[in-house]
Amino acid sequence: MADQTDVPHPPSLEDMQRWTWVIGRAQQLMLEHGVEMAMKAAEAPPPAAFPNMMDSTALTRAATDFWSDSLKLWQRFVTPGEAGADPKDRRFAAPEWRQHPLYDLIRQTYLTIADHMLKSVDLLDGVDAAQKERLRFATRTVVEAMSPSNFVLTNPEVMKRTLETGGENLLKGLEHLLRDLRQGQLSHVRQGAFEVGRNLATTPGKVVKRTPLYELIQYAPTTDQVFETPLVIFPPWINRFYILDLNPEKSFIRWAVEQGLSVFMVSWKSADASMKDVIWDDYVAAQIDAIDTIGEALDVKSVHAIGYCVAGTTLAATLAVLAGRGEADKVRSATFFTAQVDFSHAGELKNFVDDEQLKLLEGLAPDGFFDGRYMAATFNLLRGRDLIWNYVVSNYLLGNDYPAFDLLHWNGDTTNLPAKWHRAYLTDLYRDNKLVVPNALTVLGVPLDLRDVTTPTYVQAGREDHIAPAESVWKITDHFDGPVRFVLAGSGHIAGVVNPPSTGKYQYWTNDRPVGSLDEFVAGATETKGSWWPDWIGWIEARGAEKVPAEGARVPGAGKLPAIEEAPGSYVRAS
C-alpha cells in the first residue's frame, strides 16, 4: 500500500487527460496573447506619457521570447525529464520539484516568469543606470518573495511535512514567527546556543582602556618572543568585533597571537542617545587615539593597523589625516579587509541611498541613533533568498529547530548606529563619493587627500562579496600612492576573511606584475589553495621581523595600561 503521506499521488489516466486539455487550451491562449502583443507593439507608438521607455522592437522581442519560452515550458510538461533544477538553487532541492509533474510545472512556470520579469528591466530606455539598478534590485526582491517555495500549498516539502505531523510543523512555525515579531527581528539560530565570553570571543585578554566610544582589548601572548611592532584591529561598528574571534578554530585574533603578534582590538560601543552628536571625525579620532595609546604603552613608534569594512574606509581617512599632520610613520603598515574608499562601483547597497531612502531614514532615529535591526534587515535583503526566505520556509513553514551556528548568531547580534554619522556616511561616501575627491572632505581640521597616503598597504577583497564588491575594493589601488599588495580571496564578505589555514577551504589569487584593472589582475593571477592568512603574515614580517620578549607591557595589565576587566569586555555585550 502506498504511503498515505506521499504528497501528492501520481496523477491517474483521467487526471492526465484533463491536464492534456488544460495544456492545449493554455497553449492556445498564450499563442493568441503573444500574437496580440507583438502586433500591438509593432503598430502602436508608446504612450506620450512614457516616451522612450521601451521601443517597439524591444517590446516585440520580449513578447516573442516570453511566448516562445512559455511554449517550451508546456512542451517540457508533456515530455518530463528534459530539464532539471539548478543544483545551486536550494529552494527547489526537494525531489518532488522535478519528479512530480504538477510541482515541476509550478517550478518551471515561476522560473520562466521570474526570468522575464528581470529581463524586462533591461529593456527600459530613457532610464539612467542608477535608477535601472534600483529597479532591477526591487524586481529581484519581488521575484524572490513570490517563489512558490515560500507558500504552504505550493511547496511539496511543506505539504508532506504538514500531513506527516498533523499540522504540528505549522503550529511550531507560528511560535517561531510570533517570537520573531516580539523581538522585531528574524531569528537564524537557537536562543541560548551562544554567549559572548562563554563560547564566543574566548581568546584570553583584558580590556585596558575604555572611552565613551570604544574599549581597547589587549590579548595575552602565547609565544616567548613577539614582534616589536604591535597590531591594532579596527572592526566595523556596524557589527560586533567577535566575527574575528568566533571560536578557537575560526579566530583570526587567536591565530595572529599565535604568530607572535601583540594584538589589540577596538570594541566599539553600540550607539545610544548619548551619541546623537557623534560624527565620522569622532571615529577617526578614536582610531588615532588607539594608535597613540598603544604606542605609548609599549614604547614603540608605530603599529600595524587593520581596518575591516567601514572601519577600513575610516582607516583610509585616518591615514590621510596622519599624512596631513606629518605623522604618517605612526602606522607602519595598513591592512584592509573588504574595505572601500571609492564608491563608484559599491554594489547593491547604493540602492539605499537615493533621496527617498535618505528621507525615510530621518524618521527612524528620533533619539539620535538607528536601531541595529534596521541595518540587519538591509543586509539580509541583499541576500534575501538565503538570509530571509530560506529561513521563512525552514522556521515558519517546516517548523524546523533552529541550528546552532555561530556565524548566524553573530549576524543577528546587531549594534545601533549614530544617526548623524550614518546619514553623512551614506550621502558623502556612498552617494556623492567625496572621499576620493581631493580636499572634498575635511576631518579633524585636515582636508583629506588619499594621494598623500604612502603607507605600505595590504588589500584583501572577496571574489563573491555582495557588500563590498571586489571591483570596488580594488579601487584602493588607484588612490593610494604607496606600495599596495592586492589579494583576491575566494568567497565573500565574511567567509572570505574568516578562513583559517586549518580548514583548507577556498583559495586566493595574487599577481605581482603591474596591472591597471581587476580584470587584468585576475587574467594574470596565480591561484593558491587555502587561506590567505599565511600570505598576510609573511607580508607583515617583511615590514619588520624584529622581536622582543613577551613580558612587561606585552602582558595585558602588566604595563602602563591597567586591566579594567577580562576580555571580551562590556561594550560587546551591551544592546
Given a contact cutoff of 8 angstroms between Cβ atoms, the answer to whether 290 and 264 are in contact is yes
Nearest to 476 by CA among 312, 232, 236, 333: 312
- 275 contact partners, CB below 8 Å, separation of at least 6: 212, 213, 269, 368, 369, 418
Other CB atoms within 10 Å distance of the CB of residue 1: 3
Distance CA 98, CA 94 (A): 8
Crossing angle of helices 156-165 and 168-183, in 10° steps, is 110
Q: At 156, which helix (H) or strand (E)? A: helix 156-165
Nearest to 570 by CA among 197, 243, 16: 197
DSSP assignment string, 455-513: S-EEEEEETT-SSS-HHHHHTHHHH--S-EEEEEESS-TTTTTS--GGG---EEEE--S
Given a contact cutoff of 8 angstroms between Cβ atoms, the answer to whether 336 and 473 are in contact is yes
Per the annotation, the verdict on 309 as an active-site residue is yes
Q: At 304, which helix (H) or strand (E)? A: strand 303-308
Crossing angle of helices 280-298 and 310-325, in 10° steps, is 70
Long-range contacts of 192-198 (CB under 8 A, 24+ apart): 193/402, 193/404, 193/409, 194/404, 194/406, 194/409, 196/240, 196/242, 196/568, 196/572, 196/573, 197/566, 197/567, 197/568, 197/573
Distance CA 459, CA 286 (A): 22
For residue 30, the SS3 value is: helix
Distance CA 388, CA 331 (A): 41
User: All 3 cell numbers of residue 573?
Assistant: 555585550
Other CB atoms within 10 Å distance of the CB of residue 184: 11
DSSP 223: S
Q: Which of 106, 253, 309, 339 is catalytic?
A: 309
Q: How many residues does the chain have?
A: 575
For residue 517, the SS3 value is: coil
Given a contact cutoff of 8 angstroms between Cβ atoms, the answer to whether 224 and 549 are in contact is yes
Distance CA 524, CA 513 (A): 8
Q: Find where cell 596622519 sits.
A: 322
Which residues are part of the catalytic machinery?
Answer: 309
